[in-house]
Structure 1
Amino acid sequence: MRLADHVKPISYLKSDAAQIVKDLTASGEPLLITQNGEAKLVVQDVQSFEDTQQTLALLKILALGHQDIEQGKFKGAEEFLSELDDLDRREQIG
């Protein structure tokens, strides 16, 4: 689908809401709404929105992890696995 097919004026949103819901649900593609020729909002189906939010959350976790590595806030694999073994032994005793 062409980009122009994903850009509509606000009057289209007002007059064709039911068709927009049908189209967005089927395609998963967002719709850019303009007002006076200027982009004002993006409309998308719930599944696409949730997928985007999940992707953003994962990217944030990766960025925070990268930041921790840059700041030296991490443990080597051997140290981490040793701590897990210690925790496992304590649980078996207790």
Structure 2
Amino acid sequence: MDISRDIDSLSNFKRNTSKFLEQMKETREPVVLTINGKAELVVQDAQAYQSLLDRIEYLETVKAIEQGLQDVEEGKTVALEEFEARMRQKHGIQG
């Protein structure tokens, strides 16, 4: 993030929206908008936002896998048969 380029006032953003949109598409960086000198909003293009969401989902998946592996190492597991029986009982599934 380039502070001189990526932080600006909301009023300037309103006056020069097309310039900011072009900048965000080119740099793939969000723009921090200030109101009365205080950072209040972050604006980014939809593709960059989707990329951010994809990264978060990936990191959450990796974290969950790491936790699962740690649980296995610590013996915090249940046999598949026991799990299946619990789920059948919990959800009233016959069979």
Task: Answer yes or no: same fold by TM over 0.5.
Answer: yes
Q: Any unmatched runs of 5+ in structure 1?
A: 75-94
- Counterpart CA distance in 2 for 1:9 and 1:32 is 8
> Paired residue for 1:85?
none
- CA-to-aligned-CA distance 1:15-55 (integer Å, 9 cap, x gap): 11111111111121111101111111111111111111101
Distance 1:26 1:34 in 2: 21
Cα deviation, residue 11, structure 1: 0.5
Amino acid at match of 2:29: E
TM-score of the superposition, structure 2-length normalised? 0.70
Q: How far is the alpha carbon of 1:2 from its aligned partner?
A: 3.3
- Which runs of structure 1 show a deviation greater than 4 angstroms over 4 or more consecutive aligned residues? none
SS of the aligned residue for 1:71 comes to: helix
CA RMSD of aligned residues (A): 1.7
2:88 maps to what in 1?
none
- Where do 5+ consecutive residues of structure 2 fail to align? 78-95
- Residue aligning to 1:53: 53
Cα distance between partner residues in 2 of 1:16 and 1:70: 51
Aligned to 1:20: 20
Find the aligned partners of 1:34 and 1:4 in 2 and give their Cα distance: 13
Report the counterpart of residue 66 of structure 2 in structure 1: 66
TM-score, length basis structure 1: 0.70
Q: Give the aligned length.
A: 74
